[in-house]
């Protein structure tokens, strides 16, 4: 389990995350909704040990995130960014997927077998010798996800990874979410994507303003308020929400 205990994160004098507490259980998928500037990415980076909090604690499986070395931490938790190019370090897809495994000095045969399995699973055979930076947006995201999958972390954060993708590319990523054995944290502004969560959290101005089990919302057949924000999120994604008009009537 990952446990966030009253963390606060500042950038200069501005408080970006304010006294946030949250638990993320192994085997549980979370969805964090919120507008730009809400602090979603800052929270994700702190969970992944990439930035430090000014106060509070983050515990991953009974151990402080600050007590992990980088290698051990990456085997616990991975993160896929909105812009996958920020993650690329090699000039061909196959080496990109193998990079993390090489860094932790896995046996060469094991690396080879793992990479081949990931390539087969994600259907990347046709691009394995290509430069990741020359791929389409959807293909880049798949390669970035593959490099994280290869590490087999217990937890994976997806930070608005579908924002700039067309419907076909999003559907490929959705299929990966359906079949992923890791616990997922999906950060998004797309209301449609809450269906991949067990719990939804609304983050506004660096604070959690709403939290609910997805099943509870389904049973009540309602959309939670903050009404204004949810209306905005729904309207921005209405073409992808099959029952958009009905949901707007409910809220």
SS3 at position 29: coil
Whether 206 shows a pLDDT value over 70: the answer reads yes
Q: Domain holding 232: CATH number?
A: 3.40.50.300
pLDDT tens profile 81-102 = 988 888 899 999 999 999 988 8
Phi, psi of 62 (to 5 degrees): 70, 15
Looking at per-residue pLDDT, the higher value among 14 and 123 belongs to: 14
pLDDT tens profile 101-112 = 888 778 889 999
> Hey, CA dihedral for 158, 163, 164, 170, is it positive or negative?
positive
Tokens of 232: 């905005």
| Spatial distance between the Cα atoms of 73 and 229, rounded to a whole number of angstroms | 34
| Spatial distance between the Cα atoms of 247 and 227, rounded to a whole number of angstroms | 12
Whether 140 shows a pLDDT value over 80: the answer reads yes
Tokens of 72: 């051990």
Alpha carbon 148 to its chain centroid, in Å, reads: 11
Q: What's residue 222's pLDDT? A: 46
Tokens of 134: 């020359």
pLDDT tens profile 61-76 = 999 998 998 888 988 9
CA distances from 250 to 35, 62, 213, 227 (A): 21, 42, 18, 11
Tokens of 187: 């950060």
Residue-range definition of the domain harbouring residue 41: 2-250
Count of domains forming the chain: 1
């Amino acid at each position: 389990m990952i446990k966030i205990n009253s963390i606060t994160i500042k950038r200069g004098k501005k408080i970006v995350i304010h006294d946030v507490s949250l638990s993320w259980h192994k085997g549980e998928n979370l969805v964090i909704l919120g507008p730009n500037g809400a602090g979603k990415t800052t929270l994700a980076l702190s969970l992944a040990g990439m930035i430090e909090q000014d106060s509070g604690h983050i515990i991953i499986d009974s151990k402080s995130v600050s007590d992990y070395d980088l290698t051990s931490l990456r085997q616990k938790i991975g993160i896929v960014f909105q812009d996958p190019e920020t993650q690329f370090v090699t000039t061909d897809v196959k080496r990109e997927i193998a990079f993390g495994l090489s860094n932790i000095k896995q046996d060469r045969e094991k690396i080879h077998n793992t990479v081949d399995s990931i390539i087969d699973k994600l259907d990347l055979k046709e691009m394995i010798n290509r430069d990741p930076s020359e791929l389409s947006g959807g293909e880049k995201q798949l390669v970035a996800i593959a490099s994280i999958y290869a590490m087999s972390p217990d937890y994976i954060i997806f930070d608005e990874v579908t924002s700039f993708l067309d419907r076909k590319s999003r559907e490929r990523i959705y299929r990966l979410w359906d079949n992923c054995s890791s616990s997922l944290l999906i950060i998004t502004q797309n209301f449609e994507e809450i269906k991949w969560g067990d719990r939804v959290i609304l983050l506004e101005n660096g604070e959690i303003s709403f939290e609910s089990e997805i099943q509870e919302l389904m049973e009540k057949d309602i959309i939670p308020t903050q009404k204004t924000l949810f209306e905005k999120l729904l309207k921005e994604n209405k073409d992808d929400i099959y029952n958009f008009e009905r949901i707007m009537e409910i809220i």
